[in-house]
Amino acid sequence: MPRDKAFLVIVWRKGSEKGAGEESLEELSELTRSAGGMVVGHVMAPIDRPTSQSFVSQGKLSEIKRKANHVGANVLIFNVPLSPVQGRNIESLSGLRAVDRTGLIIDIFARRARSGAGRLQVELAQLIYLMPRLVGKGVIMSRTGGGIGTRGPGEQKLEVDRRKIRERIGRLRKDLEGLRTHQSLLRKRRQRKAFPVIAIVGYTNAGKSMLLNTLTGAGVFVEDKLFATLDPTTRILKLPGGKDILLTDTVGFLNQLPHALIEAFKGTLDEVTEADALIHVLDIANPTYEFQYQSVNQVLEELKAFGKPTVLALNKIDLLDEVQVEQIKRKYPEGVAISAKHKLHLNRLVDEIDRLIFKEKDSTSDTAYCAPH
Ligand X SMILES: Nc1nc2c(ncn2[C@@H]2O[C@H](COP(=O)(O)OP(=O)(O)OP(=O)(O)O)[C@@H](O)[C@H]2O)c(=O)[nH]1
**Cα–Cα distance, 252 to 283 (Å, whole number):** 12
Beta 277-283 vs 244-249: how paired, if at all?
unpaired
**Cα–Cα distance, 255 to 247 (Å, whole number):** 24
Q: Does 209 bind ligand X (CB under 6 A)?
A: yes
CB-wise, 100 or 231, nearer to Mg ion?
231
Binding-site size for ligand X (CB under 6 A) equals 23
- What does 93-108 look like in DSSP terms, one character per residue? HHSSEEE-HHHHHHHH
Among 105, 124, 222, 296, binds ligand X (CB under 6 A): 222
CB-wise, 96 or 353, nearer to ligand X?
353
Q: Does 202 bind ligand X (CB under 6 A)?
A: yes
Q: Does 229 bind Mg ion (CB under 5 A)?
A: yes
Beta 244-249 vs 233-238: how paired, if at all?
antiparallel
String of contacts with Mg ion for each residue 180-219, x by CB under 5 A: ----------------------------xx----------
Sheet harboring 233-238: ordered strands across?
233-238, 244-249, 197-202, 277-283, 310-315, 336-337
**Cα–Cα distance, 301 to 296 (Å, whole number):** 9
CB-wise, 5 or 345, nearer to ligand X?
345
Among 319, 320, 370, 371, binds ligand X (CB under 6 A): 319
CB-wise, 7 or 227, nearer to ligand X?
227
**How crowded is residue 321: how many other Cβ atoms within 10 Å of its Cβ?**
8
**Cα–Cα distance, 214 to 318 (Å, whole number):** 15
Q: Segment contacting ligand X (CB under 6 A): 40-48, 234-242, 271-279, 334-342?
A: 334-342
Nearest to 335 by CA among 309, 313, 308, 317: 313
Q: Segment contacting ligand X (CB under 6 A): 18-26, 122-130, 218-226, 347-355?
A: 218-226
User: Interface residues with ligand X (CB under 6 A)?
Assistant: 202, 204-210, 222-224, 226-229, 252, 315-316, 318-319, 339-341
User: Interface residues with Mg ion (CB under 5 A)?
Assistant: 208-209, 228-229
